[in-house]
Structure 1
């Protein structure tokens, strides 16, 4: 029987040493989250924001980032590629206002995720599709070029 592991416990990298889970934030934040029981929350500019669960995979030509963002429209999401990283942010609005909540377990408010990109990711090829509460962001890898050094 295999033991369950979270992404933080598994070293994921490709042959070029790309680690999409390499933290772009503070290691202290991750430790505090575990100690204080803050599930999928991260500190961003002094406030806590949600960090949606994500899967990251590739097929050799394309990188895919799949994030859980139920209750959010594509217009409420910003996808930014720059400085060797993919940044995804947005806000899930609260479903009902002027009501008395007896339970409030769903996550509302701002969210953000950032991922390191491999050097051959093409930032101009980014696309995003939202379907059934899953955001699929894809980027193509630049074709490998055969280097030729002169003189031979």
Structure 2
């Protein structure tokens, strides 16, 4: 498989962070509804993981973010209806738009330090990192 023109496993390896934080589709509660998977940019910064997701036409009230087990789940739904009335008939059409993304949180992600902002159809999420634990060396004497 090629990524960015390079064969994976030869000269190019997927960074462990992206491998662990790769988006996965989990079963949705309503299997009859069409659920899209929006593209997401993910970056591993020094103190946080940053996710940016394009959600055109949606606002913050259409979006739900939750932590379930070790997954960050981002979903949403927007319904619109159009009604036309004429002399002898009425026509009503409903359009629904749903999305669903689930990300396995890396072991160093802190699920208690998550911030989200939405502006102009772009959802930005920051997931804080846990502080690195200092490794302590201790010698154990054998009795």
Q: TM-score, normalised by structure 1?
A: 0.66
Query: In the alignment, what sits opposite 1:122?
Result: 110
Query: In the alignment, what sits opposite 1:68?
Result: 54
- For 1:67 and 1:22, the matched residues in 2 are separated by 12
Cα 1:85/1:146, change in 2 over 3 Å: same
- For 1:54 and 1:17, the matched residues in 2 are separated by 12
The structure number with the bigger radius of gyration is: 2
Q: TM-score, normalised by structure 2?
A: 0.70
Cα 1:108/1:98, change in 2 over 3 Å: same
Q: Which runs of 5+ in 2 are unaligned?
A: 6-11, 85-90
- For 1:108 and 1:13, the matched residues in 2 are separated by 37
Q: Which runs of 5+ in 1 are unaligned?
A: 26-42, 101-106
Kindly indicate whether the alpha-carbon contact (under 8 Å) linking 1:12 and 1:19 is maintained by their aligned counterparts in 2: no
Between Structure 1 and Structure 2, the one with more helix by share is: 1
Stretches (4+) displaced over 4 A: none
Between Structure 1 and Structure 2, the one with more strand by share is: 2
Cα 1:117/1:77, change in 2 over 3 Å: same
Tell me how many residue pairs correspond in the alignment.
122
CA drift of 1:111 comes to 1.1
